């Protein structure tokens, strides 16, 4: 699924079938449900999930926790606007 189709799918009530766990988490974030996204990334242990986890904590304003997860992702703290970071994460995991 490309980024444009992914973003268009946010108009629906549930993530499209067949999305990776990373894209499911990003879908819930884009849909305004960070708790669901957080739950999903807690189940994954790779650097990509850590990057999404960092983004979730940054959105919550928990910057110390976000710094921890950026470190686990091997990435510096992101100071970009949240929507820009979200779109970059979607691009990273979209086909």
pTM (2 decimals)?
Answer: 0.94
pLDDT attached to residue 66: 97
Given a cut of 80, is residue 6 above it in pLDDT?
yes
pLDDT at 86 over 80: yes
Local confidence band at 95 (pLDDT 50, 70, 90 cut-offs): confident
79 to each of 6, 13, 24, 67, how far by Cα in Å? 24, 30, 24, 11
Note the pLDDT tens digit of each residue in 12-71. 999 999 999 999 999 999 999 999 999 999 999 999 999 999 999 999 999 999 999 999
Can you tell me the distance from the alpha carbon of 93 to that of 78, in angstroms, rounded to the nearest whole number?
A: 18
User: What DSSP state is assigned to residue 2?
Assistant: -
């Amino acid at each position: 699924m490309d980024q444009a189709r992914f973003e268009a799918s946010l108009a629906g009530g549930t993530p499209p079938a067949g999305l990776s766990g990373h894209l499911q988490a990003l879908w819930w974030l884009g849909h305004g449900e960070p708790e669901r996204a957080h739950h999903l990334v807690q189940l994954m242990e790779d650097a990509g999930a850590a990057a999404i986890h960092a983004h979730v904590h940054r959105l919550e304003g928990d910057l110390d926790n976000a710094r921890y997860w950026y470190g686990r992702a091997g990435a510096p703290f992101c100071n970009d606007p949240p929507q820009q970071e979200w779109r970059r994460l979607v691009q990273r995991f979209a086909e």
